[in-house]
C-alpha cells in the first residue's frame, strides 16, 4: 500500500503543468509512472486535508510547553474598537479569499507528506511524526479532480468580484495561471498573496472582517485556529497586514465555519466553541530542544463556558450571543454552516431533512435549533423567518435510513455555499456528463436547485460538483472567505411579508440606510406581480438614518406586491436591497382576505407575523438626553415588551426585556456618544420606533 501511494503522487507530479523544479525532476527520473485507484488518492487526501487536522496519535502531553505559560497565553479581553460592525455574509464584498490545493513531499525520498511548518513536515508513512524537510507543489494536473474544483472556484469568484489566492511559494503563480489558461478560464480579476500554509480551509482560519470608525475602516479579527496547523493560523494576520488592514489577534480558539452573524449584533454558533477552549493545548511551534518531534505545543489556560461567551461578546461586539447544541455526526466540527445560513438580517435558510430521517439525532437537533432561533426577534421586533432547502441525497437518490449509516456517510449540504455579491457559488452533487451512479442524483439535485433559486431571489447560481469533498467535513463555504467592500452603503430593512388591508391599509416600509458620506436619495420600487414595469416612491428621510414610505394600494381580496429598495450615497455609490434587485425582490401578499402567507416548509408560524404599531408607547424625556432618559407606557401589554436601542449605523446597542405590567423604562445614557438613536419596541411581533437624541 505504501509503494502504491508513492506511485500515486509520482503520477500526479508528472502531470503538473509548466512547473519545473529540481524535486519534480528527481521524482520523474527515479520513480516513473505507476497507477493507483482514485479511492486510495481520496483516502490520503482525507487524512492530510480533513477539516479537522489529525494528531496521528501524538502524545500531546509529552510536548506540552508549561515553562512559559503566561507568555504563551495572552487572553481576551483584547483591546478592540468599541464600534465594530461585522457585516452579514450576503453584504457587498470586494474579494473572496481562497488558496490552492497543494501536494507535499519529503526532500529525502519524495514520499507524500504533510507540511507543518514552512519547509518542514512529516512523511505520510512516518510512525513517530518527526519533522523532516519537505517541499510543496500546487496541484495543477489535468487529471486531478481537486485541481479542477479549485480552478472552477477561482473562475466563479472572479466573475463577480476579485479572487484573492494565497499561494505557498511565489513561483506557484505561474503554474496556476498557466493551468487556468489551459482550461480556458484565464485569471483576469485576481490578486496573489504569498504565505506558506497547511491546508485549504480558509473559512475556518481566515479573518473575520469588520468595519469600525467614522470612515468605516476595515479591520480583521484573528482567532486562534487548530493547533496542528500553525501556518494556517497565521493566514488572517498575514493577509490583513499585506492588504493594509489592522489585525486584532486573540488566543480564543474559534473557527469561521461556526460563525454566523446577522450583521446587526447577533451571533449564532454552536457549543463546539466551548469544547475548543476547555483544554490546555494551543498552537504547535518549532522547538529544536524538544526530546520528541522537534516542536512543542503552547500551554493555554482552559476557559469556562461563561468566559468563552463573554469573550465572544466582547470580541464580536455582540448584543446577543446565541450558542446552540452542535450536531454530533457532521464530521466532528460542530459548525453551524453545515445546515444554516442567512439571506438577510431577518431570514434564515436551513436544511430540511426528509421524513425518513426524522428519528435520527442530527435532524432532530437541526429542527430544535431552528425552532429556538425562530422564537427570537430581529432588530425590528419581528420573529426570524426561516425557509427550507432539502438535504442532498446519496448518488442513487436514496437516504440514510439508520443512525450508523448516517454517522459514517453524512457529509453533504446545500447550505455550505458562498455569497459573492449577486451570485451564490453553490455545491451540487451531480454531473450529467457522467453515467450511472457517477452521475449522481440528477433529478433530486435539479429539484433542490429550483427551491434554492426561490429562496435566494435573483441570484446567479454558480454550480460546482463537490462530491470529491465527501468525507472531508465541508465544501465551498468552508474553503472561501468574504472580504467586505470599501465604503459600505448599508440598508437594514424590516420586510413586510403579508398584510390585511382592512386592518392596516397603509403599512410602513421602514429601513435604516447609512453611508459615511450621508444619503443623497432612497427609493422604494414596487409593482404587482402581473405588472411589467416598476413604480417608485421616495423614502422619507427621518433623523438618525431612518427612512420610511407608506403605500396605499387599490382594494383587492388578494394580490401580490413585489418591491425593493435602492439608495445612493452622497459620494455616488448605489446599492439595492436585496442586492440582486431588480431581478431579485421582496414579496408581499396583501388584500382584504389575506390573513397569512402560504409557503411550503415555512418553519415560523405565519400567524405571528403582523403589520401595525403598538399603542401606548410614549415619548422619551428628557429628549435630548444627557445622563439619563425615560419613557412611559400607558398600556399594560399582553406579554413582555422587548426594546432595542439602535444607532445611526444600525448597530443594536441594547437588547432588553421589559416585564409585562411595567409602565416605565429608564436608560442610562452617559455611556452613549452624542447623536441620534432609535428605540424599537416590540410585543407579539408588532413593533414601534421612538427617536432619542443624546447631547453632551
> What DSSP character marks residue 143?
T
Q: Cβ(168)–Cβ(102) under 8 Å?
A: yes
Find, among 681, 684, 602, the residue nearest to 380 by Cα. 681
Residue 577: the pLDDT is 97
Encode pLDDT of 433-458 as tens digits: 999 889 999 999 999 999 999 999 99
Find, among 578, 212, 604, the residue nearest to 378 by Cα. 604
Dihedral angle at the C-alpha atoms of 423, 336, 309, 365, nearest 10 degrees? 140
More confident residue, 245 or 676: 245
User: What is the third-level CATH fold of 490-608?
Assistant: Immunoglobulin-like (2.60.40)
CA distance 23 to 527: 64
- Which CATH code fits 628-694? 2.60.40.3080
Residue 5: the pLDDT is 38
Residue 4 confidence (pLDDT) above 60 = no
Cα-Cα-Cα-Cα dihedral sign, residues 136, 142, 143, 144: positive
Backbone angles phi, psi at 523, to 5 degrees: -135, 140
CA distance 487 to 517: 9
Average pLDDT over the chain, rounded to an integer: 87
Residue 176 confidence (pLDDT) above 60 = yes
Query: 19: pLDDT confidence band, cut at 50, 70 and 90?
Result: very low
CA distance 299 to 63: 10
Q: Cβ(147)–Cβ(185) under 8 Å?
A: no
Encode pLDDT of 127-165 as tens digits: 777 889 999 999 999 989 999 999 999 999 999 999 999
- C-beta neighbour count of 278 within 10 angstroms: 13
**Whole-structure pTM value:** 0.89
SS3 42: helix
Residue 597: the pLDDT is 67
Query: 22: pLDDT confidence band, cut at 50, 70 and 90?
Result: very low
- C-beta neighbour count of 245 within 10 angstroms: 16
Q: Which CATH architecture has domain 49-57+92-101+139-484?
A: 5-stranded Propeller (3.75)
Q: Which residues contact 346 (CB under 8 A, 6 or more apart)?
A: 378, 380, 382, 384, 385, 493, 494, 495
Q: Cβ(225)–Cβ(208) under 8 Å?
A: no
> What DSSP character marks residue 194?
E
Which range, 191-195, 285-289, 403-407, 628-632, is most confident? 191-195
What is the pairing mode between strands 490-493 and 498-500?
unpaired
Alpha helices by DSSP H, 184-304: 202-205, 230-233, 235-243, 272-276
Q: Where are the beta strands (DSSP E) in 213-317?
A: 217-224, 246-253, 260-261, 266-270, 281-286, 295-299
| Domains 490-608 and 628-694 belong to one CATH topology | yes
- Residue spans of the domains in the chain: they are 49-57+92-101+139-484, 490-608, 628-694
| Average pLDDT rounded to a whole number, residues 363-391 | 92
CA distance 469 to 171: 27
Amino acid at each position: 500500500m505504501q509503494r502504491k501511494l508513492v506511485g500515486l503522487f509520482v503520477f500526479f507530479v508528472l502531470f503538473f503543468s509548466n512547473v519545473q523544479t529540481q524535486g519534480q525532476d528527481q521524482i520523474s527520473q527515479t520513480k516513473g509512472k505507476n497507477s493507483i485507484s482514485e479511492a486510495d488518492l481520496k483516502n490520503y487526501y482525507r487524512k492530510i486535508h480533513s477539516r479537522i487536522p489529525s494528531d496521528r496519535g501524538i502524545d500531546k502531553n509529552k510536548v506540552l510547553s508549561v515553562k512559559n505559560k503566561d507568555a504563551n497565553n495572552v487572553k481576551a479581553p483584547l483591546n478592540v474598537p468599541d464600534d465594530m460592525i461585522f457585516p452579514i455574509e450576503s453584504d457587498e464584498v470586494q474579494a473572496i479569499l481562497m488558496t490552492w490545493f497543494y501536494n507535499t513531499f519529503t526532500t529525502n525520498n519524495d514520499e507524500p507528506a504533510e507540511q507543518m511548518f514552512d519547509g518542514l513536515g512529516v512523511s505520510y508513512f512516518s510512525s513517530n511524526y518527526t519533522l523532516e524537510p519537505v517541499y510543496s507543489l500546487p496541484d495543477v494536473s489535468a487529471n486531478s479532480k481537486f485541481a479542477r474544483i479549485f480552478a472552477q472556484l477561482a473562475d466563479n469568484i472572479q466573475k463577480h468580484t476579485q479572487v484573492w489566492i494565497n499561494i505557498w511559494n511565489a513561483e506557484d503563480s505561474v503554474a496556476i495561471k498557466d493551468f487556468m489558461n489551459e482550461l480556458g478560464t484565464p485569471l483576469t480579476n485576481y490578486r496573489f498573496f504569498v504565505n506558506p500554509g497547511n491546508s485549504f480551509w480558509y473559512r475556518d482560519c481566515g479573518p473575520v472582517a469588520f468595519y469600525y470608525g467614522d470612515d468605516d475602516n476595515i479591520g480583521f479579527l484573528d482567532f486562534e485556529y487548530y493547533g496542528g496547523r500553525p501556518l494556517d493560523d497565521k493566514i488572517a494576520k498575514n493577509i490583513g497586514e499585506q492588504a493594509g488592514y489592522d489585525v486584532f489577534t486573540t488566543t480564543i480558539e474559534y473557527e469561521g465555519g461556526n460563525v454566523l452573524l446577522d450583521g446587526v449584533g447577533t451571533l449564532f454558533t454552536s457549543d463546539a466553541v466551548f469544547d475548543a477552549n476547555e483544554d490546555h493545548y494551543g498552537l504547535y511551534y518549532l522547538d529544536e530542544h524538544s526530546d520528541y518531534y522537534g516542536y512543542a505545543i503552547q500551554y493555554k489556560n482552559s476557559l469556562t463556558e461563561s468566559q468563552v461567551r463573554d469573550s465572544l461578546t466582547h470580541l464580536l461586539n455582540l448584543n446577543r450571543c446565541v450558542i446552540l447544541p452542535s450536531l454530533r455526526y457532521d464530521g466532528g466540527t460542530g459548525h453551524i454552516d453545515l445546515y444554516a445560513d442567512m439571506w438577510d438580517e431577518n431570514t434564515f435558510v436551513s436544511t430540511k431533512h426528509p421524513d425518513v430521517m426524522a428519528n435520527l439525532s442530527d435532524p432532530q437537533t437541526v429542527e430544535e435549533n431552528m425552532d429556538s432561533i425562530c422564537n427570537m426577534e430581529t432588530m425590528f421586533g419581528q420573529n426570524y423567518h426561516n425557509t427550507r432547502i432539502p438535504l442532498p441525497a446519496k448518488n442513487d437518490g436514496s437516504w440514510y435510513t439508520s443512525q450508523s449509516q448516517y454517522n459514517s456517510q453524512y457529509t453533504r449540504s446545500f447550505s455550505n455555499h458562498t455569497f459573492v455579491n449577486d451570485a451564490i457559488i453553490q455545491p451540487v452533487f451531480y454531473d450529467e456528463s457522467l453515467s450511472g451512479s457517477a452521475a449522481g442524483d440528477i433529478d433530486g439535485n435539479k429539484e433542490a436547485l429550483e427551491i434554492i433559486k426561490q429562496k435566494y431571489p435573483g441570484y446567479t447560481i454558480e454550480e460546482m460538483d463537490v462530491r470529491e469533498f465527501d468525507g472531508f467535513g465541508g465544501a465551498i463555504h468552508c474553503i472561501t472567505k468574504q472580504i467586505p467592500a470599501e465604503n459600505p452603503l448599508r440598508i437594514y430593512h424590516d420586510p413586510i411579508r403579508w398584510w390585511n388591508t382592512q386592518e392596516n391599509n397603509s403599512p410602513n416600509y421602514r429601513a435604516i440606510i447609512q453611508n459615511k458620506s450621508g444619503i443623497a436619495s432612497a427609493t422604494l420600487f414596487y409593482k404587482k406581480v402581473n405588472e411589467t414595469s416598476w413604480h417608485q416612491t421616495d423614502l422619507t428621510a427621518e433623523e438618525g438614518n431612518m427612512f420610511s414610505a407608506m403605500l396605499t394600494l387599490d382594494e383587492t381580496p388578494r394580490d401580490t406586491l413585489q418591491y425593493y429598495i435602492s439608495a445612493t450615497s452622497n459620494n455616488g455609490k448605489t446599492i439595492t436591497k436585496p442586492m440582486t434587485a431588480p431581478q431579485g425582490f421582496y414579496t408581499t401578499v396583501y388584500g382584504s382576505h389575506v390573513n397569512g402567507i402560504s409557503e411550503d416548509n415555512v418553519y415560523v408560524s405565519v400567524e405571528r407575523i403582523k403589520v401595525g404599531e403598538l399603542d401606548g408607547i410614549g415619548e422619551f424625556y428628557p429628549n435630548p438626553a444627557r445622563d439619563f432618559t425615560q419613557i412611559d407606557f400607558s398600556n399594560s401589554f399582553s406579554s413582555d415588551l422587548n426594546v432595542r436601542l439602535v444607532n445611526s449605523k444600525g448597530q443594536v446597542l441594547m437588547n432588553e426585556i421589559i416585564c409585562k405590567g411595567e409602565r416605565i423604562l429608564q436608560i442610562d445614557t452617559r455611556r452613549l456618544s452624542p447623536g441620534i438613536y432609535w428605540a424599537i419596541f416590540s410585543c407579539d411581533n408588532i413593533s414601534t420606533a421612538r427617536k432619542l437624541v443624546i447631547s453632551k
